Structure 1
Amino acid sequence: MSESKICQCCLEEVLTTNYLLHSLYCERNIIKCEICDLRIDMKEKDNHMEFHKKVDCQYCQQLFEQGQLEMHKNSCLNKPEKCGFCDLIINIKEMPKHQAKCGSRTEQCQTCQKHIQKKELSFHQGICLQDQQQQSPKRNRLKRNTNDNQLKQSKDDSSVQEIKQSATTRRKPQQQIKQNLKQKVQVLKKQEDNEDEDDDDEDFQKALQMSLNQK
């Protein structure tokens, strides 16, 4: 197994057989960064120092090295974020206070139509939807039974109506017969009255004739 040594310039492990050549190159080309003590190639010094250049955070205007800036921006207290309840843009440091008030407002659940606090709405909707799915078969059975009862009642009502119509239809001829008989009786009575009047006239004429003859 080949032996190795640590280079004092770049602090890398190098095979002993290559150490001399490697160390000569490092002494001429490798330098230590004065800021982070990292060993870097002289050709990369400018790029490396750009990494250490400080820039201000766009949210709080504090200065940070380029390498640290992205990490800081993710947790900066002045970073704006969207409220999960109302979609307003609020700074992170103000978000807890805002959400405590905003989350206490109520919103109507589209499943059960109840008004639920926004901070509990997501949890409620999950449970409410599950309950709705479990109750749907029972409601469908109840609905079918209700429809069957309504259909049966409708048929019963139709049967009763048919019976009433049939009875009415049977009564109509009887009523018509009674009416016709009544009319015939009235006609016969009228004829009898006329005949009685004629008989009275004839008797009167005979009496008058006899009275004249006696004279």
Structure 2
Amino acid sequence: MSSPTAPRRRYHHGDLRAGLVREGIALLAETGVAGFSVAKVAVRAGVSSAAPYRHFPDREALLAACAAAVIGEITDLLAEAAERAGPDPADRLAATASAYTRYALDHRAGVELVYTHDFPAEHCQTVHEQSRRLTDTLTRLAADVLPADTPWAELLDFVYVHLSTAHGYATLLAKGGRLPRDADAHAARARTAARDHIAGYLARRAAGQP
């Protein structure tokens, strides 16, 4: 991972925006949101302190772009994990829980930015566009698992529980509890929990229970 004292990079104007986002995410991993500044990102990118403002009007705009990029990476990763899991719909969905947990453990600061930072209204849309893409990806995978007559609101709630479970394994269990700090073990537990969630839901539906 880069550091603020790494050799200065040379970005062409066309790729400076993407470069600033990459360096911003790397800085977040080192300092968290509290230590994030446009000036520090500029130093990492090897550009003047004024250069980032050609693409981002302020710190919050750059943070929003970083958050959107993180969500985009998560979405792509989950889609890839589902494809690698094979044809079984339950396996495909459960694989996304494992992949999410592993990503969140490896990129804690970026994930915390997505879920804990209060973005100003003028920058929320940047984050929401990628959030919708993530939700749509998981909803499509869940729809392949659940009965065809599952109400839309119920499907969304199922996805919420699925994602919340994976997020919990990455954040709560890894913060010094009795479980080992083992990313692979946490990811495997998240996959098992997702399979249990799927099986439990399907059993309740088969029994006519809410």
Greater Cα radius of gyration, structure 1 or 2: 1
Q: TM-score, normalised by structure 1?
A: 0.21
Pick the structure with more strand per residue. Answer: 1
Q: TM-score, normalised by structure 2?
A: 0.22
Pick the structure with more helix per residue. Answer: 2
Higher RCO, 1 or 2 (CA under 8 Å, sep at least 6)? 2
